[in-house]
């Protein structure tokens, strides 16, 4: 209740105070608006003592890698790119409900090395609204002692977008995203080849539907030849003419059973 009673200005001030106290941070940058704002405010306070680090792997789309670079350059922050290999981990590939834990355990442990070299805190973009979701990755964050300054300052997702607009971030209205492996129905094994296929497929479908950054798109891998295309409720149903084009493209990627649905959080589980 205390966090909710604070004004956005008070939360921003507290956020800056948190960074001042930390004195040096490495921000786990994913190209999402949360981590981007974390970097922007941290750099505003700490200048060169606020560094961004992005984990490069097949699960992070090339579009998001480019966006992370763009955001860091706009902010003026140093960006460290490190290759991580979580997709190659057998436990990760099993794609059970703990996949995110195994992912974050690998990613955070690698980023932690960078933070330790710089005598800095490792921080991420976790905010207060994220507590409403089941996030196995938070267990890994706790194990690696990752700080969550947005959460500590009481910022909600709405707060984050408001401040991101104020700081002029290009992704302030970007739809929430998740790693490409989240496109695989829980229990269906993940492998790098299929992850890259999904990335290419989503890129083409997004162009066909002329979707902006604020629109959500998921192409779910439901089996060897089965896929489901999901979009925001306001875009559903997809016009027949465009649906036919999308079907043709999805079929060209090797799928034969194709369905369409409204995107809803957690739909990778069923």
Burial class (CB in 10 A: 0-12, 13-18, 19+), 210: exposed
What's residue 56's pLDDT? Answer: 97
Tokens of 24: 């040096």
CA distance 198 to 224: 12
**Which residue ranges form the domains of the chain, and what is each CATH number?**
2-166 (3.40.50.620), 180-269 (3.30.300.10)
Phi, psi torsion values for 57, nearest 5 degrees: -160, 170
Say yes or no to pLDDT of 1 above 50: no
| pTM of the complete model beyond 0.85 | yes
Confidence at residue 5, expressed as pLDDT on a 0 to 100 scale:
60
Kindly tell me if the per-residue pLDDT of 230 is higher than 90: yes
């Amino acid at each position: 209740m205390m966090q909710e009673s604070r004004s956005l200005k008070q939360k921003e001030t507290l956020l800056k105070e948190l960074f001042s106290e930390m004195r040096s941070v490495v921000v786990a940058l994913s190209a999402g608006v949360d981590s981007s704002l974390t970097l922007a405010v941290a750099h505003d306070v700490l200048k060169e003592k606020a560094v961004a680090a992005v984990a490069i792997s097949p699960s992070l789309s090339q579009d998001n890698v480019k966006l992370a670079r763009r955001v860091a350059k706009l902010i003026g922050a140093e960006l460290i790119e490190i290759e991580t290999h979580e997709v190659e981990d057998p436990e990760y590939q099993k794609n059970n409900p703990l996949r995110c834990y195994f992912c974050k355990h690998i990613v955070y442990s690698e980023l932690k090395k960078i933070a330790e070299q710089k005598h800095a805190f490792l921080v991420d973009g976790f905010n207060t609204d994220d507590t409403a979701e089941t996030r196995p990755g938070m267990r890994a964050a706790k194990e690696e002692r990752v700080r969550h300054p947005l959460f500590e300052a009481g910022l909600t997702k709405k707060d984050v977008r408001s401040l991101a607009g104020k700081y002029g971030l290009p992704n302030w209205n970007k739809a929430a995203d998740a790693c490409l492996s989240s496109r695989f129905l829980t229990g269906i094994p993940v492998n790098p080849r299929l992850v890259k296929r999904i990335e290419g497929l989503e890129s083409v479908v997004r162009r066909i539907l002329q979707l902006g950054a604020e629109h959500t798109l998921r192409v779910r891998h439901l089996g060897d030849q089965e896929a489901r295309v999901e979009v925001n409720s306001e875009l559903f149903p997809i016009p027949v003419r465009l649906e036919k084009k999308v079907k043709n493209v999805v079929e060209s990627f090797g799928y034969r059973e194709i369905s369409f649905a409204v995107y809803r959080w957690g739909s990778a589980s069923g």
